[in-house]
Amino acid sequence: MRQRDKTPYALLGMLTLGPQSGYEIKKTLEASAAHFWSESYGQLYPVLRRLEAEGLASSRRQDKGGRLRKVFAITGAGREALGRWLQRPPEFQPPRNELLLKLFFGRHAPAGSGREHVLAYRAQQADLTRHYRELETRLLREHPRHPDLPYWRMTLRFGRRFAEAAIAWCDETLALLAREAAEKDNDNLGGSG
């Protein structure tokens, strides 16, 4: 298996929660880890096939209410491979933040567009904090003794802290943008008056 390709490990990890179909894996991912990981079908299905070919997962066809499903399970070799990967230090990935890039060039942007972007981002992050809080509450209620719970919570906490930091930053930034806009207005008045 390649070094840089993390999708196989993400899928193996998902299979530690129990045997699942590709479709289910995606749903589970979206419901629990969307804020830090995602996979597309175009990636997911071929990789599952590969995992099976390499003996890291096994599959059996299942008939569920007339629908055909292909349910995958992690194998012993799969668990070992996952464990080895979990031990390796995470690779640093160069971030790309389009909002910051647009702000960085803010002086050359149409008036008010920076403010709009930041407002939209703030709203999105506020929604997210609510979402994280709900998720955490539901998790504690529905799986209070699940052995994975502490780990799931850590990732949720990460999301919450970052969303809160983002909101604070938005407020600070909106104030700075307002000041810039005011100074620009002043310059214009001074220049013409």
Partner DNA sequence: TTTGGCATGTAATCCGTTACATGATTAG
Partner DNA sequence: CTAATCATGTAACGGATTACATGCCAAA
User: What is the binding site for DNA (CB under 7 A)?
Assistant: 2-7, 21-24, 27, 38-43, 45-46, 48-49, 64-71, 94, 96
CA of residue 137 relative to chain centroid, distance: 19
Contact 52, 104 (CB under 8 A): no
DSSP state of 108: G
99 binds, among DNA, its own copies, none (CB under 5 to 8 A by kind): its own copies
3-state class (DSSP) for residue 69: strand
3-state secondary structure of 39: coil
- Residue 101's binding partner among DNA, its own copies, none (Cβ under 5 to 8 angstroms by kind) is its own copies
> Is residue 82 a contact residue for its own copies (CB under 8 A)?
yes
DSSP class of residue 89 equals: P
- Closest Cα to residue 128, out of 163, 80, 79, 175? 163
**Among its own copies, DNA, none, partner that 57 touches (CB below 5 to 8 angstroms by kind):** none
To DNA, the closest distance from the beta carbon of 138 in angstroms equals 18
Query: Which does residue 69 touch among DNA, its own copies, none (CB within 5 to 8 A, set by kind)?
Result: DNA
| Between 44 and 128, CB nearer to DNA | 44
4 binds, among its own copies, DNA, none (CB under 5 to 8 A by kind): DNA
- Taking each helix axis from N to C end, the angle separating 7-15 and 22-32, rounded to the nearest 10 degrees, works out to 90
Which residue is it, tokens 């810039």? Answer: 180
Q: Which of 66, 76, 144, 150 binds its own copies (CB under 8 A)?
A: 150
How many other CB atoms are found less than 10 A from the CB of residue 151?
Answer: 10
3-class secondary structure, 64: strand
- 31 part of the interface to its own copies, by CB under 8 A: no
Cα–Cα distance for residue pair 35/134, rounded to 1 Å: 14
Q: Would you give the binding string for its own copies spanning residues 163-182, x where CB under 8 A is met? A: -xxx-xx--xx--xx-xx--
Enter the tokens of residue 39: 């996979």
**Which residues sit at the interface with its own copies, rule CB under 8 A?**
6, 9-10, 13, 16, 32-38, 79, 82-83, 85-87, 89-110, 113-114, 116-117, 120-121, 124, 147-148, 150-155, 157-158, 161-162, 164-166, 168-169, 172-173, 176-177, 179-180
